[in-house]
Structures are given as C-alpha cells and as structure tokens.
Amino acid sequence: MMDIIWTESSIRTYLSIIDYLFEKWTHKEIDRFQHETKLLLRNLSQRNFSCPLSKLSPYRKCLIDYHTSLVYAAEGNKIVLITFLHNKSAHNY
C-alpha cells in the first residue's frame, strides 16, 4: 500500500472546491465529490489504478468527475497529491 501525501497546494485546492460546492450546489454534490475523491485515493494507494500522464512529466492526471481532476506524482512508495483543478480552467497540466 502506498502512502498518500497531501501538499499545501492540494489541500488548498481541495478545500476551495468544497467551498465552491457549498456556495453553488447541494450537500448531495459535496458528498458525491468527497466519495469519488476517497475512492480514487484508495485505488491509487493500493496500486490498483494509475492515471494517464499529464502534459507535465512526471505528473499524472485523474478525472474525479466531469468538472474536477486530480494531479499527482508517484514517488517510490508515495503518491504526492499536487493539485485539484477545474477541468475547464487554464492550467499547465
């Protein structure tokens, strides 16, 4: 099992998405996003799943839902979460 490491940026962007969902959506969407994120992290930590490479090596980019993706790096026995991002935003990943 691989350790999941949350960077400062990943914490900040994750909480930003939760805040946005609180403002614009319902608890149902918040629960769904949190569930899908936990499921993805569990699969990554168990090495059952690997996401495609992003535009920037050595990062990988996973689709969490239609609106959101996770960017991470695999470093030895660790999964380092880089950032969560809105799929329609201008980003380098």
Is 90 exceeded by the pLDDT of residue 47? no
pLDDT: which is higher, 71 or 53: 71
pLDDT score at 80: 96
Determine how β-strand 68-75 pairs with β-strand 60-63: antiparallel
Compute the distance between CA of residue 75 and CA of residue 93 in angstroms, rounded to an integer.
18
Structure tokens at 8: 């400062």
Is 90 exceeded by the pLDDT of residue 15? yes
pLDDT score at 11: 98
pTM score, two decimals? 0.90
What mean pLDDT do residues 15-34 have?
94
Model confidence over 74-90: pLDDT tens digits? 988 899 999 999 988 87
Structure tokens at 74: 């695999």
